Copies of this chain bind each other. A is one copy, B any other.
Amino acid sequence: MIQTRMTKQRAVILDALRHVTSHPTADEVYSMVRNKLPHISLGTVYRNLEYLSSSGTIRRLERAGQQMRFDGNMAPHQHIRCQGCGMVGDIFPPVELPACTKPNAPGFDVLSVDIEFVGVCHACQEKRQ
């Protein structure tokens, strides 16, 4: 990617993500930034989220079957996802596998581990009672 220009749209999107801990979806980012940029398009939001995440400025949380979510916090941490509503919370500090862990993965070169927790948020717990 050759994109380098800090346009108004990109700056506002990045700023919005950094001032929030809610791990918003693309359309949530879209409505967040429309307060400041009423004419921004959803396509632009997607293009910037794609650029920012693949350049390592933000994190993309991707789970198939659900929407992608984005995180402006680059400090090392993990996530927990609510089984009921999909809401994502932060786990800090991150938990680690024992240092000596070597997964048995024939046919692959292991690059990294991805640890995510599954839980129920308080709002969804109340709904269940």
- Name A's B-contacting residues (CB within 8 A): 60-69, 78, 80, 82-83, 89, 91-93, 95-98, 101, 103-122, 125
Contacts and interface: CB of A to CB of B under 8 A. Distances in A.
Contacts of A82: 108
Given A80-B110, A97-B97, A91 B63 contact: no
Contact of A117 (B83, B110, B117): B110
A121 B105 CA distance: 10
Nearest to A69: B64
B108 A113 contact: no
A75 to B, nearest CB: 14
A121 B68 CA distance: 24
